[in-house]
Amino acid sequence: MKIEQKKKAHSEGRSVYCAVHIKKTRYEGRNAFLLNLIEIERKIEQEKALLNTQKFEALQRMAGAFAQDWETAEKSENPLLKALYDFSKKTYLPSDVSALNLNEIIEASVSQYCSEKGISHGNPQNPDDQIFIKTSLNATSLIQGCQEELHKAFMNLIVNADEALDGKGKIYLTAEENPGLINIYIQENGCGIHENVASKIFDPFFSTKDNGHKGLGLSLVRAVIERHGGKIGLMRHKAGGTTFHIKLPLDHDTFKTVHQPKKKSIKNARILLIGDQNILINLLCRFLAGKGLQVTRVDNYGECFKALKGDPFDLLLVDRNKSLANTVWLIQKIRHTHPGIPIALFNGPNTDGVEASPPPGVNLVIPRPLHVGSFYSNISRLLAEGKVPPPHH
């Protein structure tokens, strides 16, 4: 058997790599050759991806070697040296890491960029704007990450998309949650990029622009995403434009910090909810159960104390629509009998965006109207931190 690698034209006009297996045989009494073509394009792409990863890691080591020549590289005012340091580092300090809502980070990045560029954001759009930025953000679960660096990464991606539009076009930012990960898409409808450019787009110091660009923006974005255990790729569209696709895992074990402390998992956390049986409360219980939390609902305070005598709970949720006097008494009583359980009040008065000050013994107040995304983010953060307020005298 003889194996060769050949390049064959595809019906769409692109090249397809195939392995050709040639075998001598007999056909209708005559000597013949049997050719078997096996497409190996996927194998070629995997080899290219491996080479790109190895090249990227080698460049990170080189950048780290340069940055180590200055002890103050991290705090340097030299933007190139600071960029090399950010590109080369592999981990974060535990103090740099917190539970984050990606929707909020992306929205903040868009708002800042629109403010700096004088572009309106939101509905209705200003018809005088030449650049339109739209978001569809539906990631409810928290991730562990560095807020500052993720913010910079999304800012870089928005800047890159804007520059690809050459002054006029649309940018779409989408975040959606799937089992185990969050997908983020940054899409623009510009003129697109050539295949040869796409293969180098994440290389440090590579740029197609000649107006002072150092070519570090997208390589820094890739470094940040990979430090968070994620991946970033580029999709080219025949009709024009490009889409950056980011995958960030919800599994916190993939995230690396220096001397990483063990973080409390919220999976299967037990929640005791005090609230009447109505449509809102039932939907809330189903939503939390769908997130892997174990929710026990009780109607009154007597049932609450009875439930607390059983297996321990990780969080107490109290509907603020209950009697205020009885709620204050309940919290004081629970703080005396179960001092370690965090307590959150929901359906509190609308504070017009101003964070409400929790009453004595309460960790968190969630005002009306309830938004399931921010509601889940808040209680997830409370469960992860497990904070209990100091006693009030």
Alpha-carbon torsion (262, 142, 201, 78), positive or negative: negative
Helix (H, G, I), strand (E, B) or coil at 373: helix
C-alpha span between 272 and 82 (Å, rounded): 48
Token match 């928005």: residue? Answer: 158
H-run or E-run covering 47: helix 41-67
Percent of the chain that is helix, strand, coil (3-state, to 5): 35, 25, 35
Superfamily of domain 90-254: Histidine kinase-like ATPase, C-terminal domain (3.30.565.10)
* Residue 246 and residue 230 in contact, taking contact as beta carbons nearer than 8 Å: yes
- Residue 298 pairs in a beta bridge with 274
Q: Which residue ranges make up each domain of the chain? A: 2-39, 90-254, 270-385
Q: What is the pLDDT along the chain (393 residues), one digit of tens a residue?
A: 444 444 444 545 566 667 777 888 877 778 888 877 766 666 666 666 666 665 555 555 554 444 444 444 445 555 555 555 555 566 777 888 888 999 999 999 999 998 888 887 765 566 667 888 999 999 988 898 889 989 999 999 998 888 888 778 899 999 999 888 999 999 998 877 777 777 777 776 666 665 555 556 788 888 889 888 899 988 888 778 899 999 999 865 555 555 544 445 677 889 999 888 888 888 888 888 888 899 999 988 888 888 998 888 999 998 877 665 677 888 888 888 888 889 988 876 665 555 556 778 888 888 877 777 778 888 888 887 765 444 444
* Residue 344 and residue 315 in contact, taking contact as beta carbons nearer than 8 Å: yes
pTM value is 0.51
Alpha-carbon torsion (180, 101, 145, 204), positive or negative: positive
H-run or E-run covering 137: strand 131-138
C-alpha span between 327 and 345 (Å, rounded): 9
* Residue 132 and residue 94 in contact, taking contact as beta carbons nearer than 8 Å: no
Options 3.40.50.720, 2.60.120.330, 3.40.50.2300, 3.40.50.300; CATH for 270-385 is: 3.40.50.2300
List Cα–Cα distances, 372 to 14, 140, 317, in angstroms.
47, 8, 14
